[in-house]
Structure 1
Amino acid sequence: MAKLIYTGIMSLDGYTADAAGRFDWSMPDEEVHGFINDLERPVGTYLLGRHMYEVMSVWEDMSLSGEPPVIRDYAKIWRAADKIVYSTTLASPSTANTRIERDFDAGAILALKEAAERDMSIGGTMLAAQAIKAGLVDEFRLLLTPIVVGGGKQYLPDGVGLALELLDEHRFGNGVVYLRYARRT
């Protein structure tokens, strides 16, 4: 069975975007970006909320001329993966290998995990919150950025308790810390 992985770049106080919705403070440098590429390379399917999909869809058609190797590498990873977007408002996808689902269905996602040959990634705090509450997320991969933003979009939802086991950790030269946890069952 494939794992469902929730990866996020977040502030030290637990936010993926600040109170104004900005996340420019979380942009990875080349070292961190290369590391993220290696994390994402084995992923076969992205499950995305509408907003996260709209942010990430720039990778589909972005000009790679003159871009550094880590950017070109990530664009290839993004373009090759299947994408499932959960949205009640998006009329049609703007990227290849993409389908839209209107409703979050925990049973359907469990069936996807059971059938998938490659791991799956979930993105978007609201969609991830539903999957976390349904007990579907197997791993949490956090990239902690050395900044405190004071509020905004939380990486983890309120009202959920989880027992986790630390699987891996890594420190980067820019102060970012990577933590990988598995959900204890």
Structure 2
Amino acid sequence: MVVYSFIYYDKFLPIMADNESPSIRKIANPAGLGLLGFGMTTVLLSFHNLGLYSVDSMIVSMGIFYGGIAQVIAGILEYKNGNTFGTVAFTSYGLFWLTFVGVNTAGLTGLTAGNPSSLGLFFAIWGVLTLFLFIGTLKGTRALQVVFLTLTILFFVVAIRFGTQNADVAYVAGVIGIICGGSAMYTAFGEVLNEQHGKTILPLG
């Protein structure tokens, strides 16, 4: 007989039991992978917004593989764990990074590159989505709330940046992006280390 029960982080524990000796098989938490894919890619892109380097193959590759594909995988695993929020968030932001790469490499395919107005709307609509998801974090940890709050602000600031073409706004976006990506990395480290050690190594609130 197989019985499924919810535990912390909305993970399923399949309990494989016979008549005499039940055993428990724990399902891994994919949130660490998703948060690291998002956080590390965001930090690296934010260094670009600070003017340290241009969008190059490093950022594009991170956007495709770690920010993009890794987050989509994390979202699929959250689906298997019965976590609707994690599924929507990780899959959406994974596809955001893949879309962002497509926007920045459109010239290679002969498509018209995005203009400031369309890019402003692109980031604004992602800001709306993130604001909606931020509301969903209000019952979660403080660390996760910080990630989504700063990401909401970041999307709207980047939208303003493309609308105004102001270098100072781009710099502000870079600073907020580092805070946002860094908080996502911290949350991921907390998820992984706290579970590995069976106690609080990094407090998540």
By relative contact order (CA 8 Å, sep 6+), the higher-ranking structure is 1
Give the number of the structure whose residues are more often strand, by fraction.
Answer: 1
User: Normalized against structure 1, the TM-score is what?
Assistant: 0.31
- Which is helix-richer, 1 or 2? 2
